[in-house]
Amino acid sequence: MHKTCDVMMEKNILEENSKLARKNRDLFEEHGILAFNILGAIGSGKTTVIEKLSERLSDARVGAIAGDLAGKDDYVRFKARGIPAVAVNTGKDCHLDAHYVSHALEELPLDDLDILFIENVGNLICPVDFPLGTAASVVIVSVTEGDDMIRKHPLIFAQSDISVINKVDLAGIMEVDIGIIESDFRKINPHGKLIKTDARRGDGLEELSDALGLG
Amino acid sequence: MHKTCDVMMEKNILEENSKLARKNRDLFEEHGILAFNILGAIGSGKTTVIEKLSERLSDARVGAIAGDLAGKDDYVRFKARGIPAVAVNTGKDCHLDAHYVSHALEELPLDDLDILFIENVGNLICPVDFPLGTAASVVIVSVTEGDDMIRKHPLIFAQSDISVINKVDLAGIMEVDIGIIESDFRKINPHGKLIKTDARRGDGLEELSDALGLG
């Protein structure tokens, strides 16, 4: 009984998520919105990267969904910049899923958006299995997480469309060798896009914007 | 059907974990081992704190369990210091549970240990619901994670016995106000122990050691 329930539940949950992700994708297409799933551990700089990309995209209409267990910190940061945003508090859930996103979309002015950044709950583990219907996923890590983070979390770096190493300016003081991170990444995702940024200063944002097809 | 399975599964899993956690606790008591559950996001400095505590405890016999999705990085670091250790790779599981720990214990020389540090999988979310049978739990955060990490993850700071703010030497360069973190912590856990460390340099380790009852 235990085992049957377990397998059934996981299958049901992932199938349900896929169905809702397809609905989200259809909705994005219908409204001409390019949506991105932004992944990464707490403190990797997801919010700052979104803020800086939005600054660069002054001609585009950008919206955001801020996913967190609790609090509205990132939502408040987006709103302060005039970005239409929704805060999604997941309580104990360690990831957004297509269902959370579908409800958040009901609160956004979809006809007035060109680009949507969905900032997922901060960790490198749980969001992997739950596509949201976005055009692409971007995983952001910070050098402050050490040079072993890719070896410890291979799956998310294998599956994301673009990987970003942020806060490269702190590599020296953190005694982190970025070459090791790059080399680990190449083993897991030989042809994947890997971009180095110092989002606070704006370094590497042009390359990231290009990689996202935003010019 | 879906809902029934869901509720049953969660109840079964947590009950099963509690049962096994009690078994682990009995085993620790039987062998006179003081065990600690070390929690925190990736890069917060869990491994370094354990290394530095072990250095201080030169009279005690220290062992370690290193939990990660993949890889043996932390296990290798422990072994290099002569610490008996077991690597537990959880695959996709975002936390250790009492079952993982019970199997790891089979591989450790329990009669030859006084203290056991169990380094949990790196995130501030999933490990909360899964006690391991340890005497106490310690959550470690780094100032590099920003000053909003407590507001975003109140539960783990409410439930852990000791909270550590690590890498305080980087607060300036990270533009992080430690006062905000402390004030957030006090709202959630008014009487909890909060210790500031720079584990790399050893600052604050004496206070942490005292708080753990290790002298």
**Residue at token pair 């016999």:** B61
CB pair distance less than 8 Å for B152 and A126 = no
The ipTM is: 0.91
In tens, the pLDDT along B104-145 reads 999 999 999 999 999 999 999 999 999 999 999 999 999 999
**Predicted pLDDT of residue A1:** 41
**Residue at token pair 């969904």:** A65
Compute the distance between CA of residue B123 and CA of residue B106 in angstroms, rounded to an integer: 26
**Predicted pLDDT of residue B7:** 75
Q: Please give chain A's pLDDT, 215 residues, in tens.
A: 455 677 777 889 999 999 999 999 999 999 999 999 999 999 999 999 999 999 999 899 999 999 999 999 999 999 999 999 999 999 999 999 999 999 999 999 999 999 999 999 999 999 999 999 999 999 999 999 999 999 999 999 999 999 999 999 999 999 999 999 999 999 999 999 999 999 999 999 999 999 999 98
**Predicted pLDDT of residue A97:** 98
Pick from A130, A148, A157, A181 the residue to mutate for testing the B interface (most B CBs within 10 Å): A148
Name the residue among A143, A207, A205 with its Cα closest to residue A180. Answer: A143
Beta carbons within 10 angstroms of residue B202's beta carbon: 13
Q: Is the pLDDT of residue B1 over 70?
A: no
State whether the Cα torsion A135-A115-A195-B174 is positive or negative: negative
Predicted TM-score of the model (pTM): 0.94
Pick from A73, A152, A168, A175 the residue to mutate for testing the B interface (most B CBs within 10 Å): A152
Using the Cβ of A127 and the Cβ atoms of chain B, whether some distance falls under 8 Å is answered with no
In tens, the pLDDT along B80-110 reads 999 999 999 999 999 999 999 999 999 999 9
Using the Cβ of B71 and the Cβ atoms of chain A, whether some distance falls under 8 Å is answered with yes
The DSSP line for A153-184 is -HHHHHH-SEEEEE-GGGHHHHT--HHHHHHH
Compute the distance between CA of residue A155 and CA of residue A150 in angstroms, rounded to an integer: 9
If one compares A180 and B7, the residue with the highest pLDDT of the two is: A180
CB pair distance less than 8 Å for B42 and A153 = yes
Compute the distance between CA of residue B9 and CA of residue B3 in angstroms, rounded to an integer: 10
Q: How many residues does chain A have?
A: 215
Using the Cβ of B121 and the Cβ atoms of chain A, whether some distance falls under 8 Å is answered with yes
Using the Cβ of A145 and the Cβ atoms of chain B, whether some distance falls under 8 Å is answered with yes
**Predicted pLDDT of residue B3:** 58
Delineate the domains of chain A, giving CATH numbers in brackets. Answer: 2-211 (3.40.50.300)
Using the Cβ of B177 and the Cβ atoms of chain A, whether some distance falls under 8 Å is answered with no
Using the Cβ of A215 and the Cβ atoms of chain B, whether some distance falls under 8 Å is answered with no
Scanning A73-92 for CB atoms below 8 A from B yields 73, 92
Mean pLDDT throughout B159-182?
96
CB pair distance less than 8 Å for B153 and A128 = no
